[in-house]
Amino acid sequence: MKKVGFFRSIHLKFVLIYVLLILVAMQIIGVYFVDGLEDKLKTNFENSLRQQVNILSFSIEEEMVKERDKNSTTVEEDINEILKDKKAGDIQEIRVIDSGGKIIGTSKSDDDGIVGKRTTDKIIKISLQGTEQKDVKVVPKTGKRIWILSSPIKSKGETIGAIYLEADIETVFEQIKEINKIFATGTAIALGITAILGILLAQTITRPMSDMRRQALAMAKGNFSRKVKVYGYDEIGQLAITFNNLTKKLQDAQSSTEGERRKLSSVLSYMTDGVIATDRKGRIILINEQAAMMLNVSRETVISQEIVPLLGLEDQYSFEDLLEETESVILDNSTSAKDLILRANFSVIQRETGFVNGLITVLHDITEQEKIEEERREFVANVSHELRTPLTTMRSYLEALSEGAWRDENIAPNFLKVTQKETERMIRLVNDLLQLSKLDSKDYKITKSWVDFTEFFHHIIDRFEMSKDQNVFFVRELPKKSIFVEIDEDKITQIIDNIISNALKYSPEGGKIRFRVRELDHEIEVSIKDQGMGIPKENVVKVFERFYRVDRARSRKLGGTGLGLAIAKEMVTAHNGKIWAESEEGKGTAIFFSLPYDPEQEDEWS
């Protein structure tokens, strides 16, 4: 977040507002005070001069109406005598004018030349008509202001003259100016003190607010460990306490949310099913690693892509169709290298109001299920086929016997022999199926014991070598020493019997069967190799599947069920070993299997 500048801070704004309020208040008070004081000083100034004019008017009135003889002084002389001492203080000049507008006296000793002359001043002429006049004029040279008063002199209700007064009012304005200076100085001092107090007061308010701002910035970055300092218990202090409580609750909520997010992330990451979430427009907003692996895409590249083309359903469905889809959709993502069949289930993300927020798609890998189902169908078909063939043969021969063939001494024994052979074949098939069923069950157990495998293998080979009726040679490449392994002797015997029996079936006359045992690290490797017709390269991995035969006609003729190597594989796996085949068409087949082997434990048994 951008740092708040000083000139934009609430601290400065608070101080400015505080100072401006004080300044406006003092200016308003100053205006009213100065105006009132100015009016009062002017009024007092004027009233003082009027009182002097009134007193002077009474004295001049007596002199002007006084009867005089030849020996008495003139009116002008008496009036000048009265005015001689009146030029004092602010009064600059006093003139006395008779009713005819002639100046009969002046207080200025250096202005006696105007005595006896008629005045032309308008305000004097108006005052001679009985109305008092006043005015303020500015002296051009000095710029000083002069207050003028022209007051009528009345006797018995008639105007007999006028008194004209000029006074220096500049002193009043100087006083007002001085008062304004004092007021301005006081305002400046008050504003300075106010600014200092405002700063101190603003700090008490903005300091916790700044702390809360720093805390909010820290919270935005995920740091909930800080706390706002509480400076008091006023409204701001209560706000700080509430903010700290909010921080703790947010921290708890954040921890809870983070925990749930991690759980969800962990669940999504370790789910065996793929999960895809979209927004309301069908764009992908979440996909877990399993879904990305199933669809062979990168999680980063599919975000914001549409889900319909990602699933390869654009030819069959639109996004609106998927929102209404209630059944599973099967996706075949198989390649030449790997089979992959997915089942997609769709669930709509919907608010309580019914507004659709998006779609959740869960992908299940049903490749194994489909494979097992296919194997089950193939197994049932194979069992049915294997049972139907001998049963059909038996039914045909039994029908022939029932129709009278049993009376024929040449045919009846042959028919009964074939029927017996097919019955034994079905018994072997059923026994093999029961054995496979036991091997598939969870409670299947093997009984192990320590056996000298070299001697054990020789014994089995000897048994077959003595009982074989074919011109096939056995070549033994077995260790000279004893090798002790822990095995279920009966089960391993059955494995070797099945492998040797197959080798004998497919070995040509004069061929060789090679037996070998190799001692490796922590295991022994057993191999039995014939010189038969071999197996096509693409079918080598299928020899351990149930009912698989390289040559079906020959195998059936020899009484094989196609389950021997499948049983061998289950038994070897039960011993924690491995079994595999190597073959070259026309040159023969080798069957290998390995068994766990611990030389250290062998020393205890040797």
pLDDT at residue 601 tops 80: no
From 30-39, 111-120, 269-278, the region with the lowest mean pLDDT: 111-120
Residues of the chain above pLDDT 90, percent: 6
| Residues 170 and 307 placed together within one structural domain of the fold | no
Nearest alpha-carbon partner for 506 in 464, 470, 458, 536: 470
| Residues 431 and 354 placed together within one structural domain of the fold | no
- Whether 222 is covered by a domain: the verdict is no
Instruction: Specify the number of domains making up the chain.
Output: 4
pLDDT at residue 558 tops 50: no
| Residues 461 and 393 placed together within one structural domain of the fold | no
- The torsion angles phi and psi of 472, rounded to 5 degrees, stand at -125, 135
Per-residue model confidence as pLDDT tens digits over 486-509: 998 888 888 888 888 888 888 888
- Whether 243 is covered by a domain: the verdict is no
Please tell me which residue, 434 or 103, carries the higher pLDDT value.
Answer: 103
Residue 325, both tokens: 């889809």
- Whether 31 is covered by a domain: the verdict is yes
pLDDT at residue 551 tops 70: no
User: How is residue 109 annotated by DSSP?
Assistant: G
Report whether 272 contacts 365 (CB < 8 A): yes
| Residues 81 and 167 placed together within one structural domain of the fold | yes
376-394 average pLDDT score: 68
pLDDT at residue 5, as a whole number: 47
Nearest alpha-carbon partner for 511 in 536, 496, 479, 533: 533
| Residues 158 and 17 placed together within one structural domain of the fold | yes
Gap between the Cα atoms of 403 and 197, Å rounded: 132
What is the domain range of residue 302?
A: 272-365
- Whether 190 is covered by a domain: the verdict is no
Element holding 513 (H helix, E strand): strand 512-520
- Whether 148 is covered by a domain: the verdict is yes
- Among 203-212, 269-278, 456-465, 564-573, top mean pLDDT goes to 456-465
Gap between the Cα atoms of 98 and 116, Å rounded: 10
The full length of the chain comes to: 606
Confidence of residue 516 (pLDDT cuts 50, 70, 90): very high
pLDDT at residue 535 tops 90: no
Q: What are the CA-CA distances from residue 379 to residues 255, 410, 493, 561 (Å)?
A: 55, 39, 26, 12
Q: 125: buried, middle or exposed (CB in 10 Å: 19+, 13-18, 0-12)?
A: middle
Gap between the Cα atoms of 81 and 93, Å rounded: 14
Report whether 503 contacts 528 (CB < 8 A): yes
Half-sphere exposure of 555 (CA within 13 A, CB side): 15
- The domain boundary, picked from 414, 440, 466, lies at 440
pLDDT at residue 524, as a whole number: 92
- In sequence order, which residues have a C-beta less than 8 Å from that of residue 595 and are 6 or more positions away? 453, 485, 487, 492, 523, 524, 526, 572, 575, 577
- Which amino acid is present at 390? P
| Residues 430 and 481 placed together within one structural domain of the fold | no
| Residues 432 and 482 placed together within one structural domain of the fold | no
Confidence of residue 433 (pLDDT cuts 50, 70, 90): low
Please spell the DSSP secondary structure of 192-250, one letter per residue: HHHHHHHHHHHHHHHHHHHHHHHHHHHHHTT----------SSHHHHHHHHHHHHHHHH
From 320-324, 383-387, 515-519, 596-600, the region with the lowest mean pLDDT: 383-387
pLDDT at residue 389 tops 80: no
| Residues 425 and 456 placed together within one structural domain of the fold | no
Per-residue model confidence as pLDDT tens digits over 87-140: 556 787 888 888 788 888 887 777 667 777 888 788 888 888 888 888 887 777
564-571 average pLDDT score: 80
pLDDT at residue 559, as a whole number: 46
Q: What is the CATH number of the domain that holds 146?
A: 3.30.450.20
Q: What is the CATH number of the domain that holds 429?
A: 1.10.287.130
- Whether 251 is covered by a domain: the verdict is no
- Whether 229 is covered by a domain: the verdict is no
| Residues 331 and 308 placed together within one structural domain of the fold | yes
Q: What pairs with residue 426 in β-bridges?
A: none
371-393 average pLDDT score: 69
- The domain boundary, picked from 322, 339, 365, lies at 365
Please tell me which residue, 76 or 39, carries the higher pLDDT value.
Answer: 39
